[in-house]
Amino acid sequence: MHFQEKSRILAYLRSAFSAAHPGRMAVVAGISLSAAVVAVAVPGSAPAPFQVNLLEQLPMPAIEYLDSMDQPFVREGSVERGDTLASLLARLGVQDQDLNQFVATHPEARALLRALRPGVAITVTTTRLGRLLSVSLPQSGADGRLLISRQAGQFVVSDQPAQLESRVRMSSGEIRSSLFAATDGIGLPDSVATSLADIFGGNIDFHTDLRRGDRFSVVYEMLYHQGAAVRTGRILAAEFVNAGRRYSAVWFVGADGRGEYYSADGRPLRQGFLRSPLEFSRVSSGFSMRFHPILKQWRAHRGVDYAAPTGTRIRATADGVVEFIGKQNGYGNFILLRHQGSYTTAYAHMNGFAKGLQRGSRVSQGELIGYVGSTGWATGPHLHYEFRVNGEQKDPMRVALPQSAPLIGSQLSAFRERSAGVLAQLALAGAPQAVALRD
Ligand SMILES: [Zn+2]
């Protein structure tokens, strides 16, 4: 059984490597060879390692709620010679005239009239009684479709991306120097790396907390258009072991229809404060790795300094209201945010502020508020960040913050049911066999 798992991961690595890095086939060949040697050394009839599917088709966790009672009627048809909008809609079973009027009075909907050429495929959705909900048609010169949909009684025109096919991928790695070095090494896209930093941003400061030997596993969607990978989709589950502490995240859509990441025991991950006020990127991550921030000086200094290039994006660590924005002596360009309870956060030495931000503005967690600079008493570009309770600077790591309520009852059961499969995948992605094969 271990053997089968290993060969599956090998096969996965092989396909991921060859897809993302055609130039790295030599490395892949090396991995395959060592696996082949292992295979020979095992007596008996172990399954042949490379006859396993290259990319495992995992059952998609059912993350959308579909209420069959509310399902619209979908009808597809082609434009015929001589069709008018009215004749086309009548043939598709649409019983109302509102669209005719909308198209006549809204220039952005005229594309619908231009599309009335023989053969063009039109899709409509209607209610049970034939009231039009939406009409979609191919966009000329693009893969996507134009969608005209009824929203709150009004028609709205929007672009609909090309129908993408989603496949689930899994991957795992270990940190030697930086997160990006690790993700590059296993061919994981940058967007997945930054999403990981986002998902675990309430627990781990990816600028300061990462340690050599930290490990991560991730199960994510890759979206394909006509067989070609187009972009990454959502991370379905992830695990990060930081300095020996294990954090898990599972995407789950709750009863209110909103998706969120939860820990394996059903606690929302997004809560309280982000650990880092700096947006995590390839540039900012490399910078702080070289100039390790002065966390140890906190006691004397009453704040945390993040060395980062001028212009690095600074974000609000929690929802709040701007209480001060402007110049303040040694702090230079300075922002003070007031949060729920008795908490405030302070951001100093900024190069500039986010456009439109002023005293009284509301900001949400993770929102851009300004850029790293060296205004005020600063010897080089860095962000001086303070976390205050009742106006007094505190070490954010030592303050017990209020926790969000965990899932309970039927929500918790639904979460357990939906997360079991993807957590098993995660365990498989991070299995020691896979880790051992990296070099
Ligand atoms: Zn400072």
- C-alpha 385 to ligand 1 mean position (Å): 7
Please tell me the predicted confidence (pLDDT) of residue 231: 79
Tell whether pTM > 0.85.
no
- C-alpha 50 to ligand 1 mean position (Å): 55
- C-alpha 352 to ligand 1 mean position (Å): 17
- C-alpha 340 to ligand 1 mean position (Å): 24
- C-alpha 305 to ligand 1 mean position (Å): 5
The pLDDT > 70 percentage for the chain reads 77
Where residue 71 falls among pLDDT bands split at 50, 70, 90?
low
- C-alpha 303 to ligand 1 mean position (Å): 6
- C-alpha 377 to ligand 1 mean position (Å): 9
The per-residue pLDDT for range 113-161, each reduced to its tens digit, is 888 888 888 888 888 778 888 888 887 766 677 888 888 888 988 887 7
Please tell me the predicted confidence (pLDDT) of residue 81: 85
- C-alpha 306 to ligand 1 mean position (Å): 8
- C-alpha 221 to ligand 1 mean position (Å): 40
- C-alpha 331 to ligand 1 mean position (Å): 9
Could you write out the three-class secondary structure of the chain? CHHHHHHHHHHHHHHHHHHHCHHHHHHHHHHHHHHHHHHHHCCCCCCCHHHCCCCCCCCCCCCCCCCHHHCCEEEEEECCCCCCHHHHHHHCCCCCCHHHHHHHHCHHHCHHHHCCCCCCEEEEEECCCCCEEEEEEECCCCCCEEEEEEECCEEEEEEECCCCEEEEEEEEEECCCCHHHHHHHCCCCHHHHHHHHHHCCCCCCCCCCCCCCCEEEEEEEEEEECCEEEEEEEEEEEEEEECCEEEEEEEEECCCCCEEEECCCCCECCCCCCCCCECCCHHHHHHHHHCCCCHHHHHHHCCEEEECCCCCEEECCCCEEEEEEEECHHHCEEEEEECCCCEEEEEEEECEECCCCCCCCEECCCCEEEECECCCCCCCCEEEEEEEECCEEECHHHCCCCCCCCCCHHHHHHHHHHHHHHHHHHHHHCCHHHHHCCC
Where residue 3 falls among pLDDT bands split at 50, 70, 90?
very low
- C-alpha 199 to ligand 1 mean position (Å): 27
